[in-house]
């Protein structure tokens, strides 16, 4: 029998998903995982009752978190992913043949094993790729002692509650920057600005203190209700955000990747912010 599952992340707004079938409902060491099937979104994963990913629209979020900074950089060989246990971001990153190593730091081993079993349509064979170095650890601890340097650091975190809360602090951002090679780029998920404006404001305040070039860009992910989603951007090389359309198109062709949302024109347009978002990061 189907039932409705409500997400109540926001105090004055909720969204509901019809759960045609519950596939999994259990607690790991860190959080409660629920997986259910929905007629529009396919398999939907929630952690502590907050939607994390869905089979049908995950490509939007993961493509924009992965391909935009990789193609903006233009010469990525090493990537650090913090979080992202569902494997969707990892799968997109590994599409780039130029990448030699990806270190993924995930706090919850249970999420990774769960995803390999139940969300194979999202992570595919990513966790079997020999370029992956999977580290089960707290992301804050990892960046604090990180000796390697990465061209890109991607933070695919949950919302700033529970285990993900520490990934939205000035301390974490400063340590994450120290993991970057010269000219590197840090990109973070920063929620839906219309409903979570303080999250973006606080993150960009920290980015402006740490980076010569701090900004954000947007993408619309249907299951993340409340308007477009923001991604924080930080780099000490301002030219990375100023790469022109012709260069991006050539890099995109050379990459050989196949995308459903990302393209070079969307890449450039994503940095064009509506006034209400721009005012949050002044």
Q: What is the pLDDT of residue 201?
A: 95
Assess whether 125 and 251 both reside in one domain.
Answer: yes
Query: How far apart are the C-alpha atoms of 115 and 178, rounded to whole Å?
Result: 30
Assess whether 86 and 171 both reside in one domain.
Answer: yes
Assess whether 10 and 126 both reside in one domain.
Answer: no
Assess whether 13 and 99 both reside in one domain.
Answer: no
Assess whether 125 and 193 both reside in one domain.
Answer: yes
How far, CA to CA in Å, does 8 sit from each of 12, 17, 18, 48, 185? 9, 12, 15, 10, 33
Assess whether 133 and 49 both reside in one domain.
Answer: no
Please state the separation of Cα 81 from the chain's center in Å.
9
Whole-structure pTM value: 0.95
Q: Which of 151, 156, 159, 236 is catalytic?
A: 156
Q: What is the pLDDT of residue 168?
A: 66
Count of domains observed in the chain = 2
Assess whether 11 and 74 both reside in one domain.
Answer: no
Q: What is the pLDDT of residue 226?
A: 93
| Low-confidence residues in the chain, pLDDT < 50 | none
Please state the separation of Cα 82 from the chain's center in Å.
9
Active site residue 57: no
Q: Give me the domain span that covers residue 149.
A: 58-281
Contact, 119 vs 151, CB < 8 A?
Answer: no
Assess whether 127 and 156 both reside in one domain.
Answer: yes
Provide the phi-psi class of 53: left if phi over 0, else alpha when psi is between -120 and 50, else beta.
beta
Assess whether 127 and 92 both reside in one domain.
Answer: yes
* CATH assignment at residue 14: 2.30.140.10
* CATH assignment at residue 141: 3.40.50.150
Encode pLDDT of 14-50 as tens digits. 999 999 999 999 887 778 889 999 999 999 999 888 9
């Amino acid at each position: 029998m189907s039932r409705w599952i409500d997400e109540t992340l926001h105090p004055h707004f909720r969204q509901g998903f019809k759960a045609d079938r519950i596939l999994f409902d259990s607690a790991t060491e860190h959080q409660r995982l629920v997986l259910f099937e929905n007629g529009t979104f396919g398999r939907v994963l929630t952690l502590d009752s907050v939607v994390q990913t869905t089979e049908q629209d995950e490509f939007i979020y993961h493509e924009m978190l992965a391909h935009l900074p990789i193609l903006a950089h233009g010469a990525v060989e090493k990537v650090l992913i913090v979080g992202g246990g569902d494997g969707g971001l990892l799968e997109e990153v590994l599409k780039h043949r130029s990448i030699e190593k990806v270190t993924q730091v995930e706090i919850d081993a249970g999420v990774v094993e769960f995803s390999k079993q139940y969300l194979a349509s999202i992570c595919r064979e990513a966790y079997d790729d020999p370029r992956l170095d999977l580290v089960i650890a707290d992301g804050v601890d990892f960046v604090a002692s990180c000796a390697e340097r990465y061209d890109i650091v991607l933070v695919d975190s949950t919302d700033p509650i529970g285990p993900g809360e520490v990934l939205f602090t000035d301390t974490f951002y400063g340590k994450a920057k120290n993991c970057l090679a010269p000219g590197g780029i840090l990109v973070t998920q920063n929620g839906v600005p219309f409903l979570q404006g303080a999250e973006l404001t606080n993150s960009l305040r920290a980015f402006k203190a740490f980076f010569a070039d701090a900004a954000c860009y947007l993408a619309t992910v249907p299951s993340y209700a409340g308007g477009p989603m923001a991604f924080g951007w930080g780099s000490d090389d301002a030219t990375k955000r100023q790469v022109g359309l012709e260069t991006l198109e050539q890099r995109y062709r050379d990459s050989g990747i196949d995308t459903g949302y990302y393209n070079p024109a969307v890449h450039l347009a994503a940095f064009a912010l509506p006034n209400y978002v721009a005012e949050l990061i002044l």
